[in-house]
Structure 1
Amino acid sequence: MKYLFILLSLFLLFSCEKILFKKDLGSVDPLENFDYLWNEVDQKYSYFELKNINWNQIRSTYRPMLNENSSEEDLFTVLAAMLNELKDDHTNLITPFNVSSYNVAATGPKNYRHRTIQDHYIPNPWRTGALTHDFLSNEEVGYIRYSSFMSTIGNAQMDLILNRYKDTKGIVLDLRENGGGSIFNVPLLLGRFIESKTLVGYSITRNGPGHNEFGEQEEFYITPHEGVRYTKPVIVLIDKGSYSATTFFAVATKAFPNITLMGDATGGGGGLPNGGQLPNGWNYRFSISQLLDVNGNNYAENGVPADINVAFDWSDLSKDEILEQAIDEIVN
């Protein structure tokens, strides 16, 4: 088994924003480009069996839509539609004139409204680096909003925040609509809420032509931060907009008894994205690995379920039911 730093290096190399490119083969034939992309996905995509995708049937559906005289716009439309059959937000086709994507957040109800938090819960919050935070419930609860794992978390900033809330009964960490980013920020944050080095999950990477051929499990560990930590109850708010690195964070919390997930299931995105270049020079990427929790459960791509399901009620915008439930769980 390789160690966590190897996996983190891979995630950084193939993160939500990174793509590896192959040499431009110089072809502009629409059918050749279609076949090239279809075969690349067929040989490397990681979730065919879990999602019950009939990739051969998809080829039969989309290839007849093209011919040797198809325009670039037609080619893009067909290839994008084919890739979106994977229902994977780590799957994109990138061209000079357009980019395809699958909006996983739109597959579930919206459960976060910034103005409700701003107007009715923390009207004058502290903003410390990437984190917005303040007291709730007569200073019994600390609320921390982290909107993107793209933003680095500084150790001095975390020290300040956790010292500020050291006398609270618990913390609410709001990761709703956090679309992911750098995987390195996951252990930086999680390491503040644990006491001992903990195995939190595994990754397996597609390594053969069979749709279910994977290499050995690679272990993920979270190591506690050596400085300021907070080990009282932490409730993490999630929804369908919680994707990629946020899904990895949610999977990891399953190993910690002091952390509870609340809201809706995450949007998935547990697969490591990798990609390349079509013969015509267009770029693409898709998931090549799977993320498992400590018990081997593989629900990351379909979303990590909340421990406590709560929905936002859009008929009353003065109240955030998910946050209210989290406060009640901590205080009572």
Structure 2
Amino acid sequence: MQLPDGLDVGLYPIEGFTNPEEQPEGNGFFITSRYARNGITFGDKYNRAKADSIQAQFSSLYYGNYELDVSSEEKTPVDFSAYKERVADSINFVIEVARKYEERDLKLLNKPMETKAEFNRKHEYILKDYPNAFVNYDYRGYTVYINSGKRLYHFWGRNAKDSGEKSQTTEMQVRKSEPEVLSLLNRFRPRKLYEVPTEQGFCLPYGFIAGDSGHEPRNIGITYRLQNHPDVTIFFQDLGMKPKAGKEDDLNEKDYVIWLWNWQYQWSAVSKELIKPKWRSIEMDGRKGVGTFVKSVYKDGGLNYGYVAYVQGDRQARNLKPDLLLYVMQDSRQARGNPPMDKDELEKLAEHIVSSIKRR
């Protein structure tokens, strides 16, 4: 995919991990969380109500059995030992909250507390060190924390169901999962934004996993913002797994794009007009799909333009033939003193990106 120069990428602000803002919340009995939530944004701090975060709201990072976090870049090397201590403190706090819930339910509902052995089985954890990484193992799964290139990368493994068996322990999880962890750590490396690796593998923002077959399930949706036109964002999604929610499985190509315009994109507009030709024949990765170019009018008289291109994949084998979705979207309120990108320039930019998309 050929992208213009001068882009920012929607990522997790690294300070939201290493030095989160205190924001205690409780349930009327005790504190249940201590820090502000982190999330994908173009800003230095995540706030879901701010435009910097709203512009990146559709970003998603799922690969194989992992959900991923990729942080922004720190100005100086990350103090990884201090970060590990913060992670351990956070885990211990969650365990403390779980115990307080049990004590509250015993007092208010006369609900028996778990035995000490069973509570420990469910809440024991092991933090194990690896080169430039550590892993938090518990009885149901694990999370990989990687420090590389002044960024943090988190790979959240899928949790197994609680079987209730006493043999389902954290020690067992280490024995079972460590080969998979070592394989990931050996194959992962940081990557510059526009770097195209020579070997086979899978690219994610500022990262690369070597040895990928090309058929792993994934849902990688990345949002970019033009630095000289902060009113314009570019979003590309490679959906190679069954969607958790949405209408991808329920609607045909045209109806799905209509649903996106009606319920997802530029939704605060009072009217939207498909600019002729209303339905455009496009190709991404050599596969035919549909494109739309829309003019949105707002209550205050403001205008925004947006382009959506969509190729529907194989619903029975998305990992082999994924859904591909690209939008180039405008929010003129974000122009920040610069003239908003004009209609023809936005259309030309979108069409160029669409025509450049191919698997390597």
Please state which band the TM-score falls in when normalised by the shorter chain.
Answer: under 0.3
Larger relative contact order, structure 1 or 2 (CA cutoff 8 Å, min sep 6): 1
Give the TM-score taking structure 2 as reference length. Answer: 0.22
Larger Rg: 2
Q: Select the structure that is richer in helix.
A: 1
